[in-house]
Amino acid sequence: MHFRPLTAFLLLLANGPLVAQPAAGRSITLYSQRHYAVDRELFRQFEETTGIAVKVEQGDTEQLLQRLAEEGKHSPADLLITVDAGAIWEARERGLLQAADSPVLRTNVPSALRDAAGYWVALTKRPRVLVYHRERTRPEELPTYESLTEPAWHGRVAVRSSASAYNQTLLAGMIARIGEPEARNWAAGVVANFVRVPVGNDRTQIRAVADGQADVALVNAYYLGLMQNADQASVREQVANLAIVFPNQADRGTHVNLSVAALAKHSPRPDLAVRLLEFLTSEPAQTALAANNYEYPVNPRVVWPDNLQAWGRFKEDLLPPSSIGFYQAQARRLFAETGWP
Ligand SMILES: [Fe+2]
């Protein structure tokens, strides 16, 4: 399956397949941080098979949580979907969620990837990896995240701003695993090796390696997958010689963040919302997320599609949203103290 995000978006505006249709009478509303073409295709399939329309409101963590808080019991939101584990912890801390109970969810998703009390369920796993150029670097030169702080990598490391939840969650995970002093040393060491002041998103960092401006990028793996399979031939060619290292395979494993869904506290249609969660964690939907968006399935019965098989199995460092959330504020402070803008 190949989707063209822009075309899909324009079609969405024109035909409104995700807009609740009053005639059908049954619709749910998502507050979602996700912004991927595969999601729109999955919602369309769900709508087609169940007759339940899916309306999506997008925003960043703060926008969505604030909106839920302000709307209170009048909120139209049924589900909150985040691209970061920490955000779901924060939503729960602010009292914006309710528990969902579903035997299907318990079958689809292993206990480590959902809340024991039902307050959240992971939709995908997203490793944060190192991307290098095959002609300039051997993967053995980048065994760990800590490699990025070595003198050999001075002026060669591309990474986005610490405003990104992906970086905050990575550092929060390090604080949990190796303690604050070591995590601080790591952040300071990466800052010392920046190729430039952080600019752009994860794709920008990958392009810097492709262009020869930088030699290693710290990014979420699916962005390389999306660029390697982009509709535009120029993008595919640009990244053709780039490859991935899953760091820290000899010790704690590669940091894995989660895209997470949760039932909103005042969901008007919790029964229908849970049906969407059951669909999104089912084998066909999980396969589509992996095959089209290069995210890792949470449903253990899913056979990895070829694109993930090609990257290979790896040891995961997976922390629950509660740990990530607990250390995220500390991570933001360490970024500020070490001058990572
Ligand atoms: Fe992303």
- Span 79-97, mean pLDDT? 96
122 in Cβ contact with 109 (< 8 Å): yes
pTM: 0.91
Q: Tell me, what amino acid is at 90? A: E
List, for residues 33-79, the tens digit of each pLDDT value: 998 999 999 999 999 999 999 999 999 999 999 999 999 999 999 99
Q: pLDDT > 70: what percent of the chain?
A: 93
Give the pLDDT of residue 8: 37
Give the pLDDT of residue 115: 97
The residue extents of the domains of the chain are 5-125+257-311, 126-255+317-338
Ligand 1 centroid – CA 187 distance (Å): 21
Angle between helices 202-210 and 221-228 (to 10 degrees): 60
Ligand 1 centroid – CA 219 distance (Å): 9
**E strands of 253-295, at which residues?**
254-264
Q: Say whether pLDDT at 312 is over 70.
A: yes
Class of domain 5-125+257-311: alpha beta
**E strands of the chain, at which residues?**
27-32, 53-58, 79-82, 97-98, 121-133, 157-158, 216-220, 242-245, 254-264, 296-297, 316-318
DSSP 124-157: EEEEEEEEEETTT--GGG--SGGGGGSGGGTT-E
Ligand 1 centroid – CA 83 distance (Å): 7
- Tell me the CA distances in angstroms from 226 to 61, 158, 164, 223, 286, one per residue in order: 23, 19, 19, 5, 17
The neighbour count for residue 86, using CB atoms within 10 Å, is 28
Ligand 1 centroid – CA 253 distance (Å): 21
Ligand 1 centroid – CA 25 distance (Å): 33
Give the pLDDT of residue 84: 94
Give the pLDDT of residue 4: 39
Q: Say whether pLDDT at 224 is over 80.
A: yes
Ligand 1 centroid – CA 24 distance (Å): 33
Query: Could you tell me which of 125, 116, 127, 42 has the C-alpha nearest to residue 300?
Result: 125
Ligand 1 centroid – CA 287 distance (Å): 18
The C-alpha atoms of residue 184 and residue 23 are separated, in whole angstroms, by 56
Give the pLDDT of residue 146: 98
Ligand 1 centroid – CA 151 distance (Å): 30
- Span 125-149, mean pLDDT? 98
Under the banding of pLDDT at 50, 70 and 90, the label for residue 232 is very high
Ligand 1 centroid – CA 23 distance (Å): 34
User: What homologous superfamily does CATH list for 126-255+317-338?
Assistant: Periplasmic binding protein-like II (3.40.190.10)
Ligand 1 centroid – CA 35 distance (Å): 8
- Span 199-217, mean pLDDT? 98
Ligand 1 centroid – CA 36 distance (Å): 8
List, for residues 99-127, the tens digit of each pLDDT value: 998 999 999 999 999 999 999 999 999 99
Ligand 1 centroid – CA 335 distance (Å): 20
- Span 198-223, mean pLDDT? 98
Lowest-confidence region among 14-18, 212-216, 222-226, 334-338: 14-18
Ligand 1 centroid – CA 224 distance (Å): 11
Ligand 1 centroid – CA 85 distance (Å): 13
Q: What b/e readout covers 152-169, taking b as 16+ CB neighbours within 10 angstroms?
A: ebeebbbbbebebbbbbb
List, for residues 265-301, the tens digit of each pLDDT value: 999 999 999 999 999 999 999 999 999 999 999 999 9
Ligand 1 centroid – CA 164 distance (Å): 10
Q: Say whether pLDDT at 200 is over 90.
A: yes
Give the pLDDT of residue 150: 98
Ligand 1 centroid – CA 163 distance (Å): 13
Ligand 1 centroid – CA 223 distance (Å): 7
Ligand 1 centroid – CA 201 distance (Å): 9
Ligand 1 centroid – CA 39 distance (Å): 13
Helix, strand or coil, per DSSP, at residue 257: strand
List, for residues 50-63, the tens digit of each pLDDT value: 999 999 999 999 99
In which region does residue 25 sit, left (phi positive, over 0), alpha (psi from -120 to 50) or beta (all else)?
A: left
* pLDDT, averaged across the chain: 93
List, for residues 153-193, the tens digit of each pLDDT value: 999 999 999 999 999 999 999 999 999 999 999 999 999 99
Give the pLDDT of residue 259: 98
Ligand 1 centroid – CA 203 distance (Å): 9
Q: Say whether pLDDT at 2 is over 60.
A: no
Give the pLDDT of residue 25: 73
Give the pLDDT of residue 300: 97
Ligand 1 centroid – CA 22 distance (Å): 32
Ligand 1 centroid – CA 34 distance (Å): 7
